[in-house]
């Protein structure tokens, strides 16, 4: 795979429109596949991870077509899904595996869900226990990982209403249980340990279901059968992709950029709170609603940053943003601290170990903790430059983008190895940076 070379120093200027939100894209296509009728989804994220979901659904007979970023799905209802012939390959996408498991459990369809070696490393027992509480027969491989097996049941047999406490604050697990609950014979009450993203709840409400949220408790009231109308919606831009551009503009002197139509769901924007606390100038304009989600335009100006500490409920509100945060922290004055973030070890890479390792390669003083890390700002760096520094993204799309962004404000060129992995979530990332004025190129 190719390497991405970043030459520091050029300010970023201009406007960006983002690709559709990854989490909402996954949910939109899955709900459209469960619905009856033709759904139309604009600004769908076309990328590696959503391709995994689309192909898995095709394996169950769901028809869809892409016209640029417009996705059209011919839903026949979940009752029309056929059992997949072999294991469903979820590739690198845990969202595909976990959300599909919930939908298949609702339908009672037997299936094996598997994926890449990276996906096989990620924890799946957290999915099994809450689904089993609803009566789903499901098992993981030894070690609580994929492949996972759903045993299936007669389609007329419903799951049980239940009260379930989720073992981790995970929107993937919560969503899988909510989807399975659509076929329960009574209300399902979920208690979460933290405030995970609520896109599934919003979308199910938009499709006519009663979903009550009170603090960390969500209650879904199923109907007498699973019946979803088709979707017609445009998706907000992905805050988690915007995160890299926000940090890039904040740390590169002379930068001023605008990012249009960014999803600003409060369960997702913890990084914005953290960066503002560090002194980052991020202004929100024209707040409005798109596809049942709050959005706005962001204006970001280069800002000298100071260190901060992240812990507690803020962690889950910025769970995907720690690689981007690390790029900001290494440019901030003082030592930034992250705690209560052990979940980072269960992401596309062990994001605590991989961030600490790669920032150390860059000469940044970092230390690892079981549930986080500390990153010292530039005064404590020991860069042995000006020779280019070569870093490795550990097969993690967000690590690759964060290292590239860090390179924009580093005293030497940064080469990110195997950077093709960025296409998992943001295929236009490099081109977007280049259009804003960054010196980035694939070797």
The residues annotated with a catalytic role in the active site are: 320
For 324, the token pair is 């981007």
Contact string 351-390 vs ligand S3P (x = CB under 6 A): ----------------------------------------
Q: Which is nearer to ligand S3P, 5 or 22 (CB)?
A: 22
Whichever of 153 and 197 has its CB closer to ligand S3P, that residue is: 197
Q: Among all chains, which residue has been given the structure tokens 């896109």?
A: 199
Q: Which residues pair with 148 in a beta bridge?
A: 113
* Contact pattern from residue 172 through residue 191 relative to ligand S3P, giving x for each residue in contact according to CB under 6 A and a dash for the rest: x--x----------------
Residue 258, classed as helix, strand or coil, is strand
| 170 is a contact residue toward ligand S3P (CB under 6 A) | yes
Angle at 179 between CA 184 and CA 207, to 5 degrees: 100
Distance between CA 217 and CA 180 in Å, rounded?
A: 17
Contact region with ligand S3P (CB under 6 A), list: 166-174, 202-210, 259-267, 361-369: 166-174
Q: State the nearest-atom distance from the C-beta of 314 to ligand S3P, in Å.
A: 14
Q: Which of residues 85-114 bind ligand S3P (CB under 6 A)?
A: 95
Pick the stretch among 82-90, 170-178, 213-221, 389-397 that binds ligand S3P (CB under 6 A). 170-178
Considering the rule CB under 6 A, would residue 303 count as an interface residue with ligand S3P?
no
**Is there binding between residue 321 and ligand S3P (CB under 6 A)?**
no
Instruction: Give CA 269 to chain center in angstroms.
Output: 12
Interactions with ligand S3P, residue window 196-225 (CB under 6 A): 197
* The two three-digit tokens of residue 6, written as one number: 């970043």
The stretch near ligand S3P (CB under 6 A) out of 64-72, 167-175, 287-295, 378-386 is 167-175
Binding residue (CB under 6 A) for ligand S3P from 171, 178, 344, 440 = 171
At 262 the three-state DSSP class reads: strand
CA distance 160 to 140: 21
172/241 with CB nearer ligand S3P: 172
Binding flag, residue 320, ligand S3P (CB under 6 A): yes
Question: Taking CB under 6 A as the rule, does residue 432 contact ligand S3P?
Answer: no
CB 409, min distance to ligand S3P, A: 26
Binder among 10, 23, 92, 241 for ligand S3P (CB under 6 A):
23
47 near ligand S3P, rule: CB under 6 A: no
Stretch that binds ligand S3P, among 69-77, 171-179, 326-334, 359-367 (CB under 6 A): 171-179
- Binding flag, residue 319, ligand S3P (CB under 6 A): yes
In contact, 174 and 196? CB cutoff 8 Å: yes
Please report how close the Cβ of residue 270 comes to ligand S3P at its closest, in angstroms: 12
- Whether 397 and 422 have beta carbons less than 8 Å apart is answered as yes
Q: Which is nearer to ligand S3P, 23 or 92 (CB)?
A: 23
- Using a 10 angstrom Cβ sphere, with 0-12 exposed, 13-18 middle and 19 or more buried, the burial of residue 76 is middle
Q: Toward ligand S3P, which CB reaches closer, 319 or 433?
A: 319
Helix (H, G, I), strand (E, B) or coil at 373: strand
Distance CA 241, CA 330 (A): 19
The count of chain residues that interact with ligand S3P, using the rule CB under 6 A, is: 10
Do 328 and 280 form a contact (C-beta atoms < 8 A)? yes
What is the edge-to-edge ordering of all strands in the sheet holding 414-416?
Answer: 389-391, 414-416, 4-7, 439-442
Instruction: Show the tokens assigned to 131.
Output: 């689904």
Cα separation, 38 vs 52, in Å, equals 21
Beta 36-42 vs 111-114: how paired, if at all?
Answer: unpaired
The nearer residue to ligand S3P, 5 or 126, going by C-beta atoms, is: 126
Rounded to a whole number of angstroms, the minimum distance from the CB of residue 443 to ligand S3P is 28
Cβ neighbours of residue 244 under 8 Å, at least 6 residues apart?
A: 324, 327, 401, 402, 404, 405, 426, 429
Q: Which is nearer to ligand S3P, 319 or 341 (CB)?
A: 319
Nearest approach, Cβ of residue 41 and ligand S3P (Å)? 16
Least Å from the CB of residue 126 to ligand S3P: 8
CA–CA–CA angle 161, 172, 75 (5° rounding): 75
| Beta carbon of residue 241, minimum distance to ligand S3P (angstroms, whole number) | 11
Under DSSP, is residue 19 helix (H, G, I), strand (E, B) or coil? coil
- Assess contact for 186 and 161: CB atoms under 8 A: yes
Closest by Cα among 252, 234, 284 to 439: 252
Question: Which residue ranges make up the site for ligand S3P (CB under 6 A)?
Answer: 23, 26, 95, 170-172, 175, 197, 319-320
């Amino acid at each position: 795979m190719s390497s991405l070379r970043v030459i520091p120093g050029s300010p970023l200027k201009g406007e960006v429109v983002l690709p559709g939100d990854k989490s909402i894209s996954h949910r939109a296509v899955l709900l459209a596949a469960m619905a009856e009728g033709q759904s139309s989804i604009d600004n769908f994220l076309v990328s590696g991870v959503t391709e995994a979901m689309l192909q898995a659904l095709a394996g169950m007979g769901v028809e869809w077509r892409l016209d640029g970023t417009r996705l059209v799905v011919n839903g026949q209802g979940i009752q029309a899904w056929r059992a997949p012939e072999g294991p469903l390959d979820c590739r690198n996408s845990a969202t595909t595996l976990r959300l599909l498991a919930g939908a298949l459990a609702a339908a009672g369809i037997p299936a094996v869900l598997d994926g890449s070696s990276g996906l096989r490393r990620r924890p799946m027992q957290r999915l099994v226990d809450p689904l089993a509480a609803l009566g789903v027969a499901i098992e993981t491989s030894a070690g609580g990982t994929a492949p996972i097996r759903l045993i299936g049941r007669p389609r007329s047999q419903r799951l049980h209403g239940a009260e379930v406490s989720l073992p981790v604050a995970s929107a993937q697990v919560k969503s899988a249980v909510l989807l399975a609950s659509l076929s329960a014979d009574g209300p399902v009450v979920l208690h979460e340990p933290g405030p995970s993203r609520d896109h599934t709840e919003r979308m199910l409400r938009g499709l006519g279901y009663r979903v009550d949220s009170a603090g960390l408790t969500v209650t879904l009231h199923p109907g007498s059968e699973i019946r979803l109308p088709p979707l017609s919606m445009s998706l907000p831009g992905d805050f988690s992709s915007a995160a890299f551009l926000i940090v890039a503009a904040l740390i590169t002197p002379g930068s001023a950029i605008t990012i249009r139509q960014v999803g600003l769901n409060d369960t997702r924007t913890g990084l914005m709170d953290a960066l503002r606390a560090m002194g980052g100038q991020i202004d929100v304009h024209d707040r409005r609603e798109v596809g049942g989600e709050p959005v706005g335009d962001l204006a970001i100006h280069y800002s000298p940053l100071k260190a901060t500490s992240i812990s507690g409920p803020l962690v889950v509100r910025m769970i995907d943003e720690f690689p981007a945060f690390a790029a900001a922290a290494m440019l901030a004055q003082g030592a930034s601290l992250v705690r209560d973030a052990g979940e980072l070890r269960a992401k596309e890479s062990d994001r605590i170990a991989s961030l600490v390792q790669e920032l150390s390669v860059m000469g940044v003083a970092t230390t690892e903790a079981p549930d986080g890390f500390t990153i010292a700002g530039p005064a404590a760096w020991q860069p042995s430059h000006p020779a280019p520094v070569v870093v490795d993204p550990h097969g993690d799309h967000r690590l690759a983008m964060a290292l590239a962004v860090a390179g924009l404000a580093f005293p030497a060129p940064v080469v990110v190895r195997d950077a093709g992995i960025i296409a998992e979530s943001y295929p236009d990332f490099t081109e977007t940076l280049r259009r804003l004025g960054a010196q980035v190129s694939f070797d």
